[in-house]
């Protein structure tokens, strides 16, 4: 979803985003993520929220082995790649224009036996949900995907469709504007939401959400 100019960039060290490669170490693997700011803008660089969420997954906060996971608005695909390395079956999604770039990072960083457990697939929030089964995933992952207010309704519809009553959502974000809190308030109308992690150095929060059951709503 992240294919528009990003308001915060004026105050950020853009030299980091203009580097062609960003290198990380997760799950005992060296991961080299290709970045392409000039072609795809914010969809093609690694944001702090993705690093913090990847670290959280590596800490063992959720059981990933055999888990069915999906990453929304994946951009470079770092979070989905890390989830796959940690044992999950992962569907890594973004809009169509970003898919070839996303595939290149997945193929460059996952060995063949793990690539077979990963699917890169188009998902435009609120639009092509018919290509995903309702409640299909155990775990829904999103890093820095809640900054565009005009996408909030579509994102909520997408989360509602992909989640079963047992699914867990993990959203990593930096709270920059009041609208970010507005999204969390919208999320709480349909899901039970709690903050499970905060990285003070990067100022990134991780929120966990699960569908409210009928008894809670009574």
How much is the pLDDT for 41? Answer: 64
Do residues 9 and 66 touch, judged by C-beta distance below 8 A? no
How much is the pLDDT for 3? Answer: 39
CA distance 148 to 142: 14
Largest CA distance in the chain: 52
CA–CA–CA angle 110, 43, 51 (5° rounding): 55
How much is the pLDDT for 15? Answer: 52
How much is the pLDDT for 2? Answer: 41
- The CATH architecture assigned to 42-211 reads 3-Layer(aba) Sandwich (3.40)
Integer Rg of the chain from CA: 16
Beta strands in 79-162 (DSSP E): 89-94, 118-122, 137-143
CA distance 137 to 194: 20
Q: Give the domain ranges of the chain.
A: 42-211
How much is the pLDDT for 12? Answer: 46
Per-residue pLDDT of the chain (218 residues; tens, 9 = 90+): 343 333 444 444 445 656 788 999 999 999 999 888 676 666 678 989 999 999 999 999 899 999 999 999 999 999 999 999 999 999 999 999 999 999 999 999 999 999 999 999 999 999 999 999 999 999 999 999 998 889 999 999 999 999 999 999 999 999 888 888 999 999 999 999 999 999 999 999 999 999 987 444 43
Q: What is the pTM of this model?
A: 0.89
- Residue from 35, 105, 79 nearest 169 by CA: 79
How much is the pLDDT for 36? Answer: 80
CA distance 92 to 43: 13
């Amino acid at each position: 979803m992240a294919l528009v100019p990003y308001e915060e960039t004026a105050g950020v060290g853009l030299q980091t985003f203009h580097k062609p490669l960003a290198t990380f170490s997760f799950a005992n693997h060296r991961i080299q993520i290709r970045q392409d700011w000039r072609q795809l803008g914010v969809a093609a660089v690694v944001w702090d929220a993705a690093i913090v969420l990847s670290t959280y997954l590596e800490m063992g906060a959720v059981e990933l082995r055999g888990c069915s996971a999906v990453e929304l608005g994946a951009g470079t695909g770092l979070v989905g790649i890390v989830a796959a390395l940690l044992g999950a079956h992962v569907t890594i999604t973004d809009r169509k224009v970003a898919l070839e770039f996303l595939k290149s990072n997945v193929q460059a960083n996952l060995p063949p036996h793990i690539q077979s457990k990963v699917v890169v697939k188009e998902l435009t929030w609120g639009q092509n949900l018919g290509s995903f089964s309702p409640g299909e995933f155990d775990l829904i992952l999103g890093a820095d995907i809640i900054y565009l207010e005009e996408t909030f309704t579509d994102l909520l519809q997408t989360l509602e469709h992909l989640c079963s009553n047992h699914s867990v959502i993990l959203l990593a974000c930096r709270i920059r504007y009041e609208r970010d809190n507005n999204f969390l308030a919208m999320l709480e109308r349909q899901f039970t939401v709690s903050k499970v992690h905060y990285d003070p150095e990067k100022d990134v929060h991780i929120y966990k959400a699960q569908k409210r059951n009928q008894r809670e709503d009574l």
